[in-house]
Amino acid sequence: MTHLARKTSMTNPSRGEVWWVDFDPKVGAEIKKRRPAVVVNVAGVGRLPLRIVVPITNWREDYNRKPWLVYLAPTARNGLRKESTADCFQVKSVALARFKSKIGYLTTTQLDEIAAAIAICVGFA
């Protein structure tokens, strides 16, 4: 068994968990580098070893006016170190091999806010 196969078989990110995810290599304006991301897919959806995630980036005050950006305050529960935002416009499926380590969990309310922001991005809201 290769190192990659062992890592993938031991990694099982679940909805609401915040993980360090390696988004490199990126193309164009995609989010890049290793950063936190929240898993948003429900269990049992999909057959491939992928998870749907929303990347988390630094918070800026002007993000208050952008409905696809969800504010996340740092807490012991979520493991974030600074004020952050879930960038719901950059939602994507990523391979399990991109997940590095779990750092925390979001609340149900935060997950609902993120789902609502994704709905705005895809024209559902």
Average pLDDT value for residue range 14-40:
96
pTM (2 decimals)? 0.90
Could you list the residue range(s) of the whole structural domain that residue 69 is in?
A: 3-121
Q: How many separate domains does the chain show?
A: 1
Average pLDDT value for residue range 36-51:
94
Residue 2 has a pLDDT of 44
DSSP 97: G
Residue 11 has a pLDDT of 81
**C-alpha gyration radius of the chain:** 14
Output the domain CATH number for residue 56: 2.30.30.110
Confidence of residue 3 (pLDDT cuts 50, 70, 90): very low
Residues 6+ positions from 18 with CB-CB distance below 8 Å: 36, 37, 38, 56, 78, 79, 80, 102, 103, 104, 105, 106
Render pLDDT for 51-97 as a digit per residue (tens, 0 to 9).
999 999 999 999 999 999 999 999 999 999 999 999 999 999 999 99
